[in-house]
Structure 1
Amino acid sequence: MAVYVHVVAIDFGTTYSGYAYSVTEPGSKLKEVTILANMVWNSGTSGVASLKAPTSLLLTRDKEIVAFGFEAEEQYADIVLDGKADHYYFFHRFKMELHNNKNITSRMVLEDVRGQTLSAVEVFELSIKALKDHLQRSVEIKNIKIDTERTRWVLTVPAIWTDRAKQFMRESAELAGIPRHMLKIALEPEAASIYCQTFPSPGSKDITKVGSQYVIADLGGGTVDITVHEKLIDGTLKELERANGKACGGTSVDNAFYQLMIRLFGAPLLHKMKSNFPGCHLSLVRCFEGVKRTILPDKTGFVNVTIPFATLNSLCQSELGKDIIGIIQSSSKSEHFQLLGDKLRIDASVALSLFKSTSDNIVSLLKSIVQKGRLYNIAGIILVGGFAECKVVQKDVQTAFPGHNIVLQEDSGSVVLKGAVLFGYKSDYISSRIARYTYGIRKTSTFDKNKYPEHRKTNVEGRDVCKNVFDPFIRANTSILLGHEIEKTYNTYQKFQTECNYEVFYTENDDVMFIDEVDCIRLGGLNLQILNPTERVREMKAIFHFGDTEFSVTVVDVESGSQKKRFFEIKD
């Protein structure tokens, strides 16, 4: 087992990212762990000091890091005004590309704000490296040395992400200089649950009792990630329902606001603002942020939103032939808007309507879990994540579940990050998980006409076989203990076969028979060289390691005893 002296957690978010660390001695009780975090993500223009920074990355055309976070946004705005944008890449809010793409490959590319493309793995690698470098600089003044080889690194990912997305993040972190053997992947709602167990809010102390069951709802910027845990007698947590969620986090409300702006000013005008005045465009995208967190569900009258008035007014005149007041007055919904200086005043009923679809989705996800009969002793629904601070969502959840204890965890926006540090000290805190998918291996079987379609029959060395068979070894919704192993034995099918290629696939569909069906996704593969190939059939054993946040396999050549254990990698 790797020896570590520090723990560093990186919370790579859709809208905001950050890191926290601890130099508490390994083996200490979690309540004794001192969690330190960076508090100098300063925005020069808005005067904001934050635990996290916007997930924004500025690179040169040679792919050198210029800045990350607030600094990246501010410097890029100056670069555009100086007419030098062609010499840079600027990426903003790109994490959701991993959620939206089920078939992630190493060839995947991302577009920056101007449509320039760059390898996705490089964008994530350099973003993680920027956070890592910022950490190194910020601890130097505190006389703390973060030795990469003696630091346990924890990287957070949504529990609802596919295995390929998790692999992608691991590989990006490794490319950023984090050693494979020192890196742990933490699932965001699990990290939050560990923190809530260790430092429960006053209203949620019942969740620490043995036998209590509770829901953790991580309401983030991009995704909502929900899991259910039970406290066991040994102090660990058991997952009762597989993680559930979707892309209905805080940015979906931002998107609804942006669509409202499109209806007012038109998509071409906003596109021009994005291209020519990216700083103003980012201000417009983010100007609903404060409203989103503070607006009350019973708000009446008008809601004030600070807009980049000068730029927007100039674009209205040049692109639409009217000033901004004229555009608003000519709108079919003009009675819902007022303009006072740089404040766009929106009728409260219109502002609140922007939350409806998102809030309905969150309530629906919670109901799909809470109303299941297997959950009989729910001690509370714990809300965590930055979007959990939204008063509208809080009220809708309380209304939907009048008989349940709804608790907003204190400091909800940093719970995942701090919980990830605790996970670094005790990565076996979650002792049982529910499989999200059915997993299987590609194999070649003797052809059975009663089992396989005729067109799939192939002759190999005088023997009729069926290739690309999906051979499942664990089913979705199976409860798996941490450290659980499954052994499967396979045989070679050719004389003097020199290697065995093992490829694992996963699916949400219960009746997949072949790996080339549309619902079957390749997780990864590995190659085992057969020592001293022979004419006779060789027996190969695959040992699948389950129950952790990631999936790995050991392949054994039974005759020679050679074996290989590894995580799968994205190569295609």
Structure 2
Amino acid sequence: MTVPTEFDNRSVTIMRECAFKAGLIKQMTSPRLKFTTEPEAGAINCMSFLKDLNVGVEKTFMLVDCGGGTVDLTTRRLLKDNKLGETIKSRGGDCGGSFVDDNFIEFLASKVGQSAIDLIRKIHYSQLQYAVQEFCRRAKYPFTGQENDFKPFELDLTEYFPDIKQYVKGSERVEMEKEEWNIELKFDDVKKMFDPVIEKIIELISKHLDESNDVSAMLLVGGFSESKYLQELISQKFQDRLQNKIYFPEHPATAIVEGAVKYGLNREVIATRVLKWTYGTDVARKWKSDDPEERKLPGSNQVIEFSQLIECEKEIPINKVVSRIFTPGCIFQRKMGLDIYITEEHDADFCDSPGVKLLGKWSIKLPITLGLRPVLFLLVFGEIEISAIAINLETGRKHKTRFELLEL
């Protein structure tokens, strides 16, 4: 199953829960369900094109997945044995093709008033969706950015929205009655719907290229990458920088699905991934003189700090294991929890420092025995999902940990 690159482990867990409730897997923790990101799936599918672009072993390429909601980017290095490694952390942005549709709706609102559009969206949502579909068919899909290729056309609002007259008030109503409830869609109108979205995509690509100077080629997939106008502007912007090695595969809309199938058949094709977040947990240590006084725990000389488990922006092999040994705080403790925190920074002082978020909780039951009762936690990184094993070092017994999904 594919997910956007900006999904964190909590979001992926929600997807797993949905798959379970839909009957796609028989158990919530079923190992049969595996995840890959959308740009990673696209990169896998495009490996067959690399030879045509002279991208050999140890060379890198950028994959840009221009979907409906998001645009996701990943930079991959072609390894020997036809495998892929990730070189820098992937990134994404909310600038997919559906935002052109949103701009079309804003254009309608400028003609009939925002309140009228809000009422139509609330009461006649299917009518609004039909109008958007017609806009896509007549304007969005064929738009090339060349005025000679564009033929202005009129939209009869009463055809798409039979009840619209009762929703339009004031000056907008006067103007619409004058135009007999017709709106003309001109070249500049459509261009203005595209331009701010494509500008965000170009900015996203530029930032990603700046962080990976050795990119040999760029490939674009996803439904929105079929736009001739998008293709033209991206080619103009980056053709010199990439020496014209910009490739738009045939059938880009199916590239993600095809790549996901190929990944399912051979998951070893992905050798390394780059972590997008720094992971850590909360541990107690002795209070230091340079610690804030308010950080000291009541009745003790201790403070809870953020203890890094693994750092962001590091390229790690699949199934990278991070181990930590923890002991319960008192002999009466019946359960041990491991809270996992994430941050986009390389480290943090405390678990409530700016930018630090609680991702989730693992917990295991502890035996009723005397002694330290140390527990070895093994966290496995490199996959899209984090897996965990807890081992009681006194008994050698392995415990299945439980991921507690937090309320969003």
TM-score normalised by L of structure 2: 0.90
2:32 aligned with 1:186: no
Secondary structure of the residue aligned to 2:80 is coil
Is the deviation greater in 157-166 or in 185-194?
157-166
Residue aligned with 2:90, SS: strand
Hey, what's the Cα distance between the residues in 1 that align with 2:402 and 2:146?
51
Q: 2:238 corresponds to which residue?
A: 401
Corresponding residue number in structure 1 for 2:261: 421
Q: Cα distance 1:275–1:263, how it changes in 2: closer, same or farther (>3 A)?
A: same
Structure number with the bigger relative contact order (C-alpha 8 A, sep ≥ 6) is 2
Contact 1:523 1:568 (8 Å CA) reproduced: no
In terms of mean alpha carbon deviation, does 509-518 or 305-314 score higher?
305-314
Q: Matches of 1:409 and 1:483 in 2, distance apart?
A: 32
Write the letter of the residue equivalent to 1:427. Answer: R
Aligned to 2:19: 173
List runs of 5+ in structure 2 lacking aligned partners. Answer: none
Q: Among 235, 247, 271, which residue is 2:118 paired with?
A: 271
- Three-state SS of the structure 2 residue aligned to 1:230 is strand
Question: Structure 1 residue 171: deviation in Å?
Answer: 1.5
8 Å Cα contact 1:441-1:503 kept in structure 2? yes
Indicate the residue corresponding to 1:32 in structure 2.
none
Specify which of 127, 130, 154 is matched with residue 283 of structure 1: 130
Q: Which residue of 1 aligns with 2:61?
A: 214
1:383 to 205, 220, 225: 220
SS at match of 2:81: coil
Which has the higher mean CA deviation after the structures are superposed, 432-441 or 301-310? 301-310
Which consecutive aligned stretches of 4+ in structure 1 deviate over 6 angstroms post-superposition?
Answer: 321-325
Q: 1:161 to 1:567 in 2, by over 3 A?
A: farther
Give the Cα separation in 1 of the matches to 2:298 and 2:61: 55
Equivalent residues of 2:321, 2:379 under 8 A apart = yes
In the TM superposition, what is the alpha-carbon distance from 1:448 to its structure 2 partner? 2.4
Aligned equivalent of 2:342:
506
- Alignment size in residue pairs: 398
For 1:298, the aligned partner's letter is Q
What is aligned with 1:99? none
Query: What is residue 159 of structure 2 aligned with on the other side?
Result: 310
Once the two structures are TM-superposed, the CA of residue 511 in structure 1 deviates from its matched residue by: 4.5
More deviation, 398-407/272-281: 272-281
- Tell me if the contact between 2:62 and 2:76 (Cα under 8 Å) persists in the aligned partners: yes
Pick aligned residue for 2:358 from 522, 535, 544: 522
Select which of 153, 161, 167 maps to 2:7: 161
Question: Could you tell me how far 1:250 is from its partner in structure 2?
Answer: 0.6
Residue 388 to residue 325, structure 1, CA distance change in 2 (3 Å): farther
CA deviation map 1:405-429 (0-9, x unaligned): 1111111011101111111111121
> Normalized against structure 1, the TM-score is what?
0.65
Distance across 2 between alignment mates of 1:324 and 1:302: 27
**CA distance, structure 2, for counterparts of residue 571 and residue 432 of structure 1:** 29
Retained in 2: the 8 A contact 1:317–1:324?
no
Residue pair 1:204, 1:380 contacting (<8 A) in 2 also? no
Task: Please state how far the C-alpha of 1:491 moved relative to its aligned partner.
Answer: 2.5
Q: Given residue 296 of structure 1, which amino acid in structure 2 is its aligned partner? A: T
Q: Which residue, out of 42, 47, 51, partners 1:197?
A: 47
Which one of the candidate residues 259, 270, 282 is aligned to 1:430? 270
Q: Please, which runs of 5 or more residues in structure 1 have no aligned partner?
A: 1-154, 331-336
Q: Is the 8 A contact 2:9 2:384 kept in 1?
A: no
SS at 2:268 equivalent: coil
Q: 2:272 and 2:216 mapped to 1: Cα distance? A: 19
Structure 1 counterpart SS, 2:62: strand
1:158 maps to amino acid? P
Select 1:470's aligned residue among 306, 312, 319.
306
- Structure 2 residue corresponding to 1:557, chosen from 383, 386, 392: 392
SS across alignment from 1:494:
coil
Deviates further, 161-170 or 557-566: 557-566
Separation of aligned partners in 2, 1:264 and 1:481 = 55
Query: How many Å apart are 1:307 and its aligned residue?
Result: 5.7
**Partner of 1:392 in structure 2?**
229
Residues 363 and 402, structure 2, Cα contact 8 Å, conserved in 1: no
Residue matched to 1:482: 318
Structure in which a larger fraction of residues adopt strand: 1
Contact 2:311 2:347 in 1 (8 A): no
Equivalent residue in structure 1 for 2:295, among 449, 452, 456 = 456
Q: Is the 8 A contact 1:222 1:249 kept in 2?
A: yes
Structure 2 partner of 1:228: 75
The match for 1:443 among 275, 283, 295 is 283
Computed over aligned residues only, the root mean square deviation of the Cα atoms, in angstroms, reads 2.5
Task: Tell me the percent identity.
Answer: 24
Deviation per CA, 1:69-119: give whole Å up to 9, x if none. xxxxxxxxxxxxxxxxxxxxxxxxxxxxxxxxxxxxxxxxxxxxxxxxxxx
1:295 to 143, 149, 152: 143
Shift of 1:237: 0.1
